């Protein structure tokens, strides 16, 4: 059974698909006039993160930032799974793409740089997780309607509460000789959450040896790491269920061939290794954070953590994206086979689909 990986990726949505087209359609129905992009045709696209098969053929062990490519996808019809026009995007590629999509692309010369910034924001990340994407746009001072990000107010407040609690102790560390009243503390925590460079954030981050030119990037990465810690812990039960299923599938059936057993063992190992890598980074952060802000030890470990925060954030983002995608494929597959025997052909298809998604 042949797999159309691009179609399957689009079908999955979530952390690898940003369906700008659908949200734009909904906004137009509500007679809204503000959309994501300034060039109208770009608002009709679907942005997809897809496995980078070209790099995979060159070498087996590729870097996280090379594992995925980013594409603009324009379906031929309303059923987005029936194929369409795709463009692989990279830095400074938008002018070429717009020239193909529009008869008179020069009319957009004055605004193309703005939309190029939006496109390049998708290249910054190995995911289109709505929260991380939204925060990345805010960091870059790009104003996109919130409807494009599908985060409920309740969920946003849970994330804010979880992350902001991690910021509070740093303020007392930065101002050890001053009493910070609750209103001041709340204001300073909010400044750290916003991640903007100002006198207050510079003063708070100075004792942790953060270069003033990197404060915004460090705060964004720190917030992202804490967010992924929240997501990982919130979904621990789902990951455990999935691992248990992988470990047990086919154990009582003779139809599982040796090649499929090998693949099964590979994915069990992959899940454990990827979740282990995420947990290792969370433990690294918890230890550095706890030693400084709870045990009042030397700040050196936390200073080192902040210095490496960009790389840690990228690794966690890529790993959580992998696990989330794997979970979606697994959930969809098992939902189709509830109380039914899984045939060898279907199980082989399932394993191939995971493999083609570089999981």
At residue 92, the pLDDT reads 85
Which pLDDT value is given to residue 8?
65
Could you tell me the pTM of the whole model?
Answer: 0.87
- Assess whether pLDDT exceeds 70 at residue 11: no
Output the pLDDT for position 339: 59
d(CA 224, CA 247): 31
Residues 119 and 166 in one domain: no
Return the DSSP state at 342: P
Q: Which of 181, 221, 187 is nearest to 201 (CA)?
A: 187
Question: Does 237 share its domain with 282?
Answer: yes
137 and 175 in a common domain: no
- The Cα 74–Cα 46 span in angstroms is 7
Q: For residue 60, count CB atoms less than 10 angstroms from its CB and return exposed for 0-12, middle for 13-18, buried for 19 or more.
A: exposed
pLDDT in tens, 108-132: 999 999 999 999 999 988 899 999 9
List, for residues 293-333, the tens digit of each pLDDT value.
989 999 999 999 999 999 999 999 989 988 888 888 888 88
Which residue segment(s) compose the domain that 77 sits in?
5-151
In the chain, the percentage of residues whose pLDDT exceeds 90 is: 50
Residue 60 predicted with pLDDT over 60 = no
Query: Under a CB-based contact definition with an 8 Å cutoff, are residues 35 and 27 in contact?
Result: yes
Number of folded domains that form the chain:
2
Work out the average pLDDT over 29-46.
Answer: 94
Distance CA 54, CA 227 (A): 32
| pLDDT at res. 257 | 67
Indicate the pLDDT class of residue 235, thresholds 50, 70 and 90. confident
Statement to judge: residues 101 and 170 lie in one domain: no
**How does the average pLDDT of the chain come out, rounded?**
85
Q: What pLDDT is stored for residue 31 in this prediction?
A: 94
User: Rounded CA gap, 51 and 59, in Å?
Assistant: 14
Question: For 102-108, which contacts have Cβ atoms below 8 Å and span 24 or more sequence positions?
Answer: 102/39, 102/41, 108/38, 108/39
What per-residue confidence (pLDDT) applies to 66? 64
50 and 93 belong to one structural domain: yes
186 and 304 in a single domain? The answer is yes
Is residue 214 classed as helix, strand or coil in its secondary structure?
A: helix
Give 141-185 pLDDT, tens digit per residue.
999 999 999 888 899 999 999 999 999 899 888 888 777 788 888
DSSP strands (E only) in 68-126: 68-75, 84-89
- Domain boundary at 103, 123, 151, which? 151
**Cα Rg for the chain, rounded, in angstroms?**
23
Q: How confident is the model at residue 1 (pLDDT cuts 50, 70, 90)?
A: very low
How high is the pLDDT of residue 158? Answer: 93
Which pLDDT does position 355 carry in this prediction?
79
Element (H, E) at 338: none
Task: Please say which residue of 101, 124, 151 terminates a domain.
Answer: 151
Q: Are residues 204 and 100 in the same domain?
A: no
In terms of pLDDT, which residue wins out, 253 or 214? 214
In a shared domain, residues 350 and 209: yes
Please check the confidence at residue 99 and state whether its pLDDT lies above 80: yes
Residue ending a domain, choose from 151, 170, 193? 151
Question: Domain check: are 133 and 49 in the same one?
Answer: yes
What pLDDT score does 263 carry? 81
Same domain, 43 and 177: no
Which residue do the tokens 């070429």 mark? Answer: 96
268-299 residues labelled b (16+ CB within 10 A) or e (exposed): bebbeebbebbbebbebbeebbebbbeeeeeb
Tell me what pLDDT residue 27 has: 95
One DSSP character per residue, 120-150 reads: HHHHT-S---HHHHHHHHHHTT----GGGS-
Q: Scan for tokens 């490519």, then name that residue.
A: 69
Backbone angles phi, psi at 72, to 5 degrees: -95, 130
Shared-domain flag, residues 292 and 224: yes
242 and 122 inside one domain:
no
Residue 23 clears pLDDT 70, i.e. is over it: yes
């Amino acid at each position: 059974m042949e797999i159309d990986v691009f179609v399957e990726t689009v079908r999955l949505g979530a952390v690898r698909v940003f369906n700008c087209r659908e949200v734009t359609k909904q906004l137009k129905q509500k007679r809204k006039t503000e959309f994501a992009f300034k060039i109208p045709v770009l608002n009709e696209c679907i942005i997809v993160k897809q496995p980078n098969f070209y790099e995979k053929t060159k070498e087996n062990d590729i870097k996280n930032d090379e594992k995925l490519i980013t594409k603009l996808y324009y379906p031929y019809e309303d059923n987005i799974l029936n194929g369409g026009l795709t463009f692989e995007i990279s830095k400074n590629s938008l002018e070429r793409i717009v020239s193909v999509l529009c008869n008179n692309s020069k009319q957009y010369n004055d605004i193309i740089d703005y939309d190029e910034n939006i496109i390049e924001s998708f290249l910054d990340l190995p995911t289109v997780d709505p929260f991380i994407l939204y925060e990345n746009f805010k960091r870059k001072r790009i104003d996109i309607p919130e409807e494009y990000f599908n985060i409920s107010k309740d969920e946003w407040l849970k994330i804010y509460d979880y992350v902001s609690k991690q910021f509070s102790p740093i303020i007392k560390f930065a101002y050890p000789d001053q009493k910070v009243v609750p209103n001041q503390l709340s204001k300073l925590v909010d400044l750290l959450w916003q991640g903007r460079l100002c006198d207050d954030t510079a003063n708070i981050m100075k004792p942790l040896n953060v270069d003033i030119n990197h404060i915004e990037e460090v705060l964004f990465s720190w917030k992202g790491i804490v967010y992924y810690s929240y997501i990982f812990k919130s979904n621990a039960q789902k990951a455990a269920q999935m691992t248990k299923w992988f470990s047990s599938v086919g154990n009582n059936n003779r139809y599982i061939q040796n090649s499929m057993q090998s693949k099964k063992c590979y994915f069990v190992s992959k899940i454990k290794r990827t979740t282990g890598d995420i947990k290792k980074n969370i433990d690294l952060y918890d230890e550095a954070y706890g030693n400084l802000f709870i045990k009042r030890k030397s700040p050196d470990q936390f200073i080192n953590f902040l210095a490496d925060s960009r790389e840690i954030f990228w690794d966690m983002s890529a790993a959580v994206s992998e696990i989330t995608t794997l979970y979606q494929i697994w959930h969809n597959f098992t939902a189709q086979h509830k109380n039914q025997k899984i045939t060898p052909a279907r199980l082989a298809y399932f394993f191939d689909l995971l493999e083609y998604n570089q999981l």
